[in-house]
Structure 1
Amino acid sequence: MMVVCSAVRLALAAFGLAACVVASYGGQIAGVVVGADGAPLSRAWVMTCNGRIVQSGADGAFVIADLSNGGYALKAVFPGMADALLARLAVTSDVPVTCRLQMTPADTAVVCGSVTDAVTGKSLAAWFEARSGSAPIRWFDVAGQPYGGRTDVPAGVWHQSNRRFWTSGTFAFSAAPGRLRLTVQADGYAPATVERAVQAGRQESLTLVLKPLFDPAAAGWYKGDFHAHGVHGERLYDVNIPMIAFMLRAENYRWFYLSSEFNNDGVPVDAASAAVGESGSDLLLFLNAEYPKTAGGHVGSVGIGPPAKPRPYSRYANIEVIKADIVEQGGAAVPVHPLYGHMRSRELPFMLLGAPELICGFDFYTSWSASSEKTWSLFLNKGYRLCRTATSDAAFDLGRTPGTMGATFIRPACGQLSRASIVEAFKSGRTTISWNGVLLLFTVDGSDCGTVFPSGEAARNAVVTLHDTPGKKRVVTITRNGEVFKRMPVTVPESGMSEVRFDFSEREKAWYSA
């Protein structure tokens, strides 16, 4: 028997983004933008914290329609004016919100523009990091705070200094006069960097055209995560499902499980309905729970929602909960961050010894490490079939978004994403792990990871394909039963794709990974 596995150990790239699809709910924010003297401001940029953006008309009026129920911050930017901000607007389909944004003079410039595909001309959801002078340009949360930019967090409280700015394809922000540097990234595209000298009272328009390199979904691979928190508990930022879905699209997640809690914006909503409403052809958004989450270990899952009545650890072992509440309900279970921090050396080895059929994967968490690789290899050498996963442990309420951490790509057998096909991919081992957009694919005789071949004299053709940033120098390592089999240096060409081929035959019981 020969088994093929696939994984990514590299970082630092970006890959394929679909344009944002907004849930068609009936919420609406309408209003007017005026200057300090009350006169209307024409063509002011007005945006919500979930990425909707419009310009005011000649009379200063604007309308942002089809908003999901929830809390929103509203921001207006205009050359020579300080940003005007309204926070925590409660929007429901029953009562439209009307407001007035009054702006005051300031020495500011506005940078605006679009991100598009160089071949199709279509708008692209993307993210960028920009600096105006020495200060980063940040997005904003439901409370209107610069997202990831708090400086008043007490020592010992988990906080991520996130410098990303997300866009559905059209963007605008205020900048201080002087030098602006902006690097835009979209998964599957070559990143682009621009520098401009911006002047107070002026508007700088940018057309950011990105060269397409590779679309994982076109090849049947879909980026996702199943270990992420809407509200982890620190509550440093106000977030909700519409804002989270906007960020996920800009970071090119095609499927995503969001763990409870799901929002802290102060507006009561049915989270399950909100997730369905924010889903579309470019993103399937599901809800789950990091459950069981006990002193014995933390477990992630796909295929099931949050438990209606969690079983207490004092009465039920983790493996009992996994069996009854995950596997027997049609889901798949993967203990998360098993070798990291406070979860090190918990119940995972005992669960695999006692009930290997209940665990389908091994989580490499937020980065590849030699210890994780060796532990995973040890299990496979003992005959366990464990797919690799990488998870983000994202926590949106403390500034931690998943794109800064790990991701799990899956290849559904049917070619289509659904709750059932995600579970099937996990159980069949058709996963590969990635950080920062790099994607490494490994096939033997055209078959994907997770495939089992008969041992024998037959010659096999292996192809390892690396999708990465042009110009990067990498080393692709093939392992056999956890030991180095081949090691090949590559320099990523302008196409963003490097391919390594080799022939081999396998007469013994073995597994291979890249």
Structure 2
Amino acid sequence: MSNWRICPRPENHRNHSSDIGMHIEIVVLDALTRKELAARLSFRGDGLPDMWGKDAAGKDMAYLGSPRIWCDGTWKGDLPDVSITVVVSRPYEYKTQVVDIEPGDQQKWTILLERGCCPTDEGWFAGDAHQHVVHGEAMLAVNLPTATLVSKAEGVSWMVYDADARFTSVENEPEPSVDDLNSLCASASDADFLALWADEYPKHDLGHLVSFPMHTPAQFRPLAGEGIYRLEEGMRTPYLNFESIRVLRRHGSSAFYTHPLRELGGTPGRVGNISRELPLDIIVAPWAIDSIDLLTDGMDDPLVFSMWYMLLNWGHRIGICAYNDACFDRAGTRANNSFNEPIAYHRTYVKVADEVSSRALLDGIRAGRTIATSGPVVLVELDDKEPGHVFPTGDTARTLRIRAWGAPGYHDPLEAGTITRIQVIHNGDLHQEWSFADGSEDHVEVTAEITEQSTGWYIVRVEGSIDDQFAITSPFYFEGPEYQAPETHAATVQATVVDAETGRPLDGRLEFVAFDKEQVEVCQTQTFSDGSFNGQVAGDLRLRAVVEGYHDMILSPILDFPEIYREILAGIRREDLADPAYYVKLREALDRVELSFAMNPLQ
């Protein structure tokens, strides 16, 4: 770490105008524990310019929300000799405090922040697994220590920082190595915050996913395979997403789709950023889909929830996450039509069994013990079980308990959010609803009785009084004897195997293999003669042709069948992900796969 320097803390602020009159120290403490608490500080007053935390080059770190400075518990700075209001906040679990400072007032202020709720006491921890320290624009000079400080002050308990781009944009500062990243994350972590690094991976033409750290930290792409981000004419992605997930799971990680309906960039006839492979995975690799981020784009987009409800009704057990895709190196405001980075705006609460760790968070997400929110804090139990639990159907009456707390506004923490509506949704339809029209309920607790005799699912949705504030849980599941877990769809393959030079039909064997960058595992073998094979193979496998005197050849029933890869997947649009007809089209194509093995003789 000798060549790694930490850039200046963004909370330290000096006003260089000529009207400096006060040197102020502010200490923020948790009202109960009296421990120093990282928090946001917003300074407001007549004629007072916007005060933002500064990057290493002294530029304003203007992110989404009101101007603010991030402090690690103590802030010292110079302020004009005018009346100033300091708004101290730490969304979404703490109540906002306000301090009025007049010229000539005391130099040091101690602020006690009170909790509005404490989900961590019950094992629920909020965080985000998708943000970039340096996305690439490098409008700001930031690094990983900057990002972790801001994250703490924004009030999350854990963060996973993506390694698909860079970890520093500070001038002349070297990119940290794997060991550096481990050390920096360990240094930033404490009893109240866990810093992790992983990758937005896989990230290419077939979709963007976010991952969690591996057991032995390493860069993801060299291990699990690189993809092609912008697929030009004739190019072919080397690995399907579920093939990369195989590698990640082998190493104690996994990956989840993010912003599934996003349409951005791409090439003619092949829109970019969309989760192109997601419908295919639902059909041929349902084992690879445990959870999905539904809030990054179009936070309350009805189409994305229609897709999710449809998949749940088909028997898939897919939990919800809420990420941001924020970039610490970008700045700007809506007013100037620039970047507007939502640092920790959406959050994923994960229930962990013991202490917070990478493994505990990943296990919680894969088990569906999650709640996504943009404001209200919600805790839900069904017969004392958390979301993701599977109950047997029958005559048993079960008690659904919902607790919800209003949260201060992300954009303006002086705006005190309340709870306006609670809904229970059953199999995609409204089951029960409570409305609090007067907007005075900052804490609500309701119960309901559920008796379920058929296979299905329930989720809870809570709306807050501030625009775009809502929370939604992962499902509770009911499983009856009629339930059938989604299985891998088999591809029906017509294969020809010939000499590449003469076209002569060959005899040999086909191995059905689980393929990824690390290994090729033979799952089944069948012989063929006269250069022809017609049969079924699991859709998540590839075929390896083995002929004596020839080089082996591996083909994918997806990547090497143009109707699927070049036509159906290429032309996908956001509406298709929620359209059952698109999934039917994929299945029909999988039922008529044609592959041609042109074998090269050994020299």
TM-score by length of 2: 0.63
Letter in 2 for 1:230: V
SS of residue matched to 1:341: coil
Distance 1:376 1:292 in 2: 21
Shift of 1:296: 1.8
- Out of 448, 464, 480, the residue aligned to residue 502 of structure 1 is 448
May I ask how many residue pairs the two structures share in their alignment? 413
For 2:452 and 2:33, the matched residues in 1 are separated by 45
For 1:232, the equivalent position in structure 2 comes to 135
Q: Are 1:286 and 2:216 an aligned pair?
A: no
| 1:443 paired residue number | 381
Question: Structure 1 residue 74: deviation in Å?
Answer: 8.9
Inter-CA distance 439–491: structure 2 relative to 1 (3 Å threshold): farther
- On the 8 A contact 1:471/1:492 being kept in 2, the answer is no
Correspondence 1:368 to 2:300:
yes
Equivalence for 2:32: 119
Q: Which has the higher contact order (CA 8 A, sep 6+)?
A: 1
Q: How far apart are the structure 2 equivalents of 1:128 and 1:397?
A: 20
Q: Contact 1:332–1:359 (CA<8 Å) still a contact in 2?
A: no
How many percent of aligned residue pairs carry the same amino acid? 24
Name 2:323's counterpart in structure 1.
Answer: 391
Q: Distance in 2 between matches of 1:76 and 1:219?
A: 35
Residue in 1 that maps onto 2:488: none
Distance in 1 of aligned mates of 2:7 and 2:114: 36
SS class of match (1:128) = strand
Is the CA contact 1:133–1:176 (under 8 Å) kept in the aligned structure 2?
no
Letter in 2 for 1:167: C
Contact kept in structure 2, 1:471 and 1:494, CA below 8 Å: no
Say if 2:177 is the partner of 1:241. Answer: no
1:332 and 1:426 in contact (8 A); partners too: no
User: Larger deviation: 301-310 or 501-510?
Assistant: 301-310
Unaligned runs of at least 5 residues, structure 2: 229-235, 265-272, 332-339, 408-415, 461-603
What's the counterpart of residue 427 of structure 1?
366
CA distance in structure 2 between the aligned counterparts of 1:106 and 1:377, rounded to whole angstroms: 58
Whether the 8 Å CA contact 1:472–1:491 is kept in 2: the answer is no
Q: Deviations over 1:444-489 (max 9, x none)?
A: 1110000111111111100011022466241011100011001102
Distance 1:331 1:215 in 2: 29
- Structure (1 or 2) with the larger CA radius of gyration: 2
**What is the match of residue 406 of structure 1?**
346
- 1:254 CA drift (Å): 2.0
Match of 1:264 in 2: 169
Paired position in structure 1 for 2:238: 316
Contact kept, 8 Å, 1:472 with 1:492, in 2: the verdict is no
How do residues 460-475 of structure 1 correspond to structure 2 at under 5 angstroms?
Answer: 460-469=398-407, 472-475=418-421
Would the aligned equivalents of 1:322 and 1:358 in 2 still touch at CA under 8 Å? no
Q: Tell me the distance in 2 between the aligned counterparts of 1:73 and 1:423.
A: 30
- Cα distance 1:76–1:389, how it changes in 2: closer, same or farther (>3 A)? closer
8 A Cα contact 2:420 2:439, kept in partner: no
Which letter does structure 2 place at the counterpart of 1:241? L
Could you say which residue in structure 1 is the equivalent of 2:8? 72
Q: Is 1:354 the equivalent of 2:288?
A: no
Offset of residue 392 of structure 1: 1.2
Query: Once the 2 structures are TM-superposed, how far is the Cα of residue 434 of structure 1 from its aligned partner?
Result: 1.3
Corresponding residue of 1:166? 70
Structure 1 Cα separation of the partners of residues 36 and 446 of structure 2: 33
In 1: Cα distance, 2:72 partner to 2:319 partner: 33
1:191 corresponds to which of 87, 92, 96: 96
- Cα distance in 2, alignment partners of residues 250 and 401 from structure 1: 15
Alpha-carbon distance change, 283 to 356 in structure 1, aligned in 2, over 3 angstroms:
same
Does 2:237 correspond to 1:332?
no
2: distance between equivalents of 1:491 and 1:432? 24
Would the alpha carbon gap of residues 462 and 233 (structure 1) be closer, same or farther in structure 2, given more than 3 Å must change?
A: same
Q: Residues of 2 paired with 1:340 and 1:198: CA distance?
A: 50
8 Å contact from structure 1 (residues 276, 285) kept in 2: yes
2:516 paired residue number: none
Normalised to the residue count of structure 1, the TM-score between the two structures is 0.73
Deviation string, structure 1 residues 73-110 (Cα, Å, up to 9, x no partner): 699778xxx54xxxxxxxxxxxxxxxxxxxx9644433
Which range moves more in the overlay, 294-303 or 128-137? 128-137
Distance 1:468 1:236 in 2: 35
Unaligned ranges ≥5, structure 1? 1-24, 28-67, 84-103, 149-158
Aligned to 1:248, the other structure's residue is in SS state helix
Give the direction of change, closer, same or farther, for the CA distance of 1:123–1:490 in structure 2 (3 Å limit). farther
Question: C-alpha separation between the residues in 2 aligned to 1:365 and 1:306?
Answer: 27
Q: Distance in 1 between matches of 2:128 and 2:134?
A: 16
Secondary structure in 1 matching 2:387: coil
For 1:503, give the aligned amino acid. E
